[in-house]
Amino acid sequence: MKNNKTKAYSLLAQDFDLLENEPLKKHTSFKVGGPADLLAMPKNKLQLKKLVKKAFDLNIPVSLFGGGSNLLVTDKGIRGLVVTTKHLTSQISIIKTDTDINTKTINAEAGVPLPKLVRFATNQGLSGLEFAAGIPGTLGGAIMMNAGTKSGDMSRIVESVDVLNQNTFKIETIEKKDLDFSYRRLDQPGIILAASLKLEKAPAKKIKNLFLQNLSKKKATQPLSSASAGCFFKNPDQGKPAGELIEESGLKGMEINGAMVSLTHANFIVNTGNARCEDILLLKRHIQETVQKKYHIKLETEVRIEGE
Ligand SMILES: Cc1cc2nc3c(=O)[nH]c(=O)nc-3n(C[C@H](O)[C@H](O)[C@H](O)COP(=O)(O)OP(=O)(O)OC[C@H]3O[C@@H](n4cnc5c(N)ncnc54)[C@H](O)[C@@H]3O)c2cc1C
């Protein structure tokens, strides 16, 4: 069994540049995570497609990383192949102008850093992405997570998504009406390669002001320079947001071996040094149990936990 695995890995390594036993803490904003058996950083869509197809033929499981800014990877790491999209070409172009309704549609590749996309839109006088001020990661990850804030999310602007089907290896365009978005989630199998976003024409100054307003609010209320994966828990459907529930449970500042409930925002768990995934999971469970006891609310994680 082990031999078959080793053979499959070396067959894959014959055709592609791969890192072996790569520590995933180097590829996540939490700075946590054990090794990936193999890690690939394809440079373009064709390479990515060939790589994923060959891994499929060799029966090697594939996990996908964008910017790794919403991921908590276990200390044992991830078996099989991890593919990161952040080194893919990152083209952005305007593909349609609709003067009647004052909109433009842009197309961008999945590995485009979200901050770069926001800058592009602002410089073009296109409104709709201001909510994303200060959100790290890639466009592909933002769409899969339906990233957003109170003032907007990706589902409002995505018109269509180009997806690599991992069974047929064909690229399919899924239109807005067929995309199953919900709170911090897109239910869509396959690998996002690109997306079209519809944005509204607006004065550049107005867009920039709104962007800066959102960014300074985020900077003032969230620990943006600490290692984290953003908000750890989803806000419950009704009532107080997760951060308030955690703060009112007296948990701000609680720490387990370097995993700490942020003093700036209680819904952020920060890695203050050398926390392991295990420490973060212990703190997570403690937070969930305390909030459950006090409020009878089960907090669900927004951060995706991956690995063995
Ligand atoms: C300081 C900080 C602040 C944050 N603020 C916010 C915020 O305000 N709002 C918010 O919603 N989030 C926030 N986040 C969380 C995170 O930045 C977003 O969820 C982001 O959009 C994730 O993008 P990513 O590329 O890093 O995805 P990753 O974390 O790499 O991946 C997330 C998920 O998407 C999948 N995925 C990634 N790329 C693709 C692809 N091309 N095709 C298919 N699946 C893919 C992965 O497999 C994984 O399941 C914050 C995080 C940090 C660290």
- Quote the pTM value: 0.97
The verdict on 101 and 214 lying in the same domain is: yes
Residue type, position 94, single letter: I
Grouped pLDDT means (10 residues each) for the chain, 308 residues = 87 95 98 98 96 97 98 98 94 93 96 97 96 98 97 97 96 98 97 98 95 97 98 96 98 98 98 97 98 97 98
The verdict on 205 and 258 lying in the same domain is: no
Q: What is the CATH number of the domain that holds 177?
A: 3.30.465.10
The verdict on 112 and 214 lying in the same domain is: yes
The verdict on 74 and 58 lying in the same domain is: yes
Residue at 199 is within a domain:
yes
Counted domains in the chain: 3
* Residue among 22, 34, 29, 31 at smallest CA distance from 70: 29
- Tell me if residue 119 is catalytic: no
> Which structure tokens are listed for 67?
């910017």
Q: Give the structural domain span for 124.
A: 92-221
Pocket of ligand 1 (CB under 6 A): 29, 64-71, 85, 110, 135-138, 140-142, 144-145, 147-149, 184, 191-192, 224, 228-230, 304
Residue at 229 is within a domain:
no
Q: What is the pLDDT of residue 3?
A: 83
What secondary structure letter does DSSP report for 100?
Answer: T
Alpha-carbon separation of residue 134 from 117, 120, 122, 172, 300 (angstroms)? 12, 14, 14, 31, 23
Residue at 226 is within a domain:
no
Q: What is the pLDDT of residue 210?
A: 96
The verdict on 148 and 250 lying in the same domain is: no
Tell which of 221, 254, 277 closes a domain.
221
Q: Could you give the maximum distance between any two Cα atoms of the chain, in Å?
A: 63
Residue at 235 is within a domain:
no
| Ligand 1 atom at minimum distance from 67 CA | 26
- Tell me if residue 277 is catalytic: no
For a mutational test of ligand 1's pocket, the pick from 39, 70, 216, i.e. the residue with the most ligand atoms closer than 8 A to its C-beta, is 70
Q: What is the pLDDT of residue 1?
A: 62
Q: What is the pLDDT of residue 231?
A: 98
- Tell me if residue 308 is catalytic: no
The verdict on 55 and 170 lying in the same domain is: no
The verdict on 116 and 179 lying in the same domain is: yes
Q: What is the pLDDT of residue 22?
A: 98
The verdict on 68 and 97 lying in the same domain is: no
